[in-house]
């Protein structure tokens, strides 16, 4: 009789265990799932634009520089200059035109195109 009760309890325990997960649900451990790949062709400030700004702009556009009223030393400052201070228009002017930036002469077209694409790509950091 004791064996029958123990067997009944064991069977009842096993029958109450159910799992709705399928083999597919559990066959790939979470650590092996590949994260989404970001598009390397998207231009970002940190990866692409910062070096151009550092090389061409912050000589004047920094604290203590000739254009310290419009610093371009951070992502937020450069983004704001694109959005509100006509940075895109000014870098596209030709040498000799009033308002050209940088004042030392027009940047390469490749650098200008990079900044324009950064704007088109959404001014990502």
Q: Indicate whether 3 pLDDT > 80.
A: no
Tell me, yes or no, whether 4 lies in a domain: no
Q: Could you tell me the pLDDT band of residue 28, with boundaries at 50, 70 and 90?
A: very low
Tell me, yes or no, whether 8 lies in a domain: no
Tell me, yes or no, whether 13 lies in a domain: no
Tell me, yes or no, whether 29 lies in a domain: no
Instruction: Report residue 99: phi and psi, to 5°.
Output: 95, 0
Tell me, yes or no, whether 110 lies in a domain: yes
CA 6 to chain CA centroid, nearest Å: 61
Would you say 67 and 81 are in contact if contact means Cβ atoms under 8 Å apart?
no
Tell me, yes or no, whether 84 lies in a domain: yes
> Which residues, listed in sequence order, are joined to residue 124 by a DSSP beta bridge?
44
> Which residues, listed in sequence order, are joined to residue 44 by a DSSP beta bridge?
124
The total of structural domains in the chain comes to 1
Q: Indicate whether 82 pLDDT > 50.
A: yes
CA 108 to chain CA centroid, nearest Å: 24
């Amino acid at each position: 009789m004791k064996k029958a009760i123990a067997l009944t309890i064991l069977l009842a325990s096993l029958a109450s265990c159910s799992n709705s997960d399928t083999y597919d649900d559990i066959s790939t451990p979470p650590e092996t799932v590949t994260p989404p790949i970001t598009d390397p062709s998207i231009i970002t400030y940190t990866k692409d634009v910062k070096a151009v700004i550092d090389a061409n702009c912050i000589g004047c556009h920094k604290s203590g520089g000739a254009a310290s009223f419009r610093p371009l030393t951070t992502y937020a400052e450069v983004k704001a200059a694109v959005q509100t201070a006509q940075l895109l228009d000014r870098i596209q002017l030709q040498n000799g035109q009033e308002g050209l930036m940088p004042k030392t002469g027009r940047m390469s077209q490749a650098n200008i195109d990079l900044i324009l694409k950064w704007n088109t790509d959404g001014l990502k950091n």
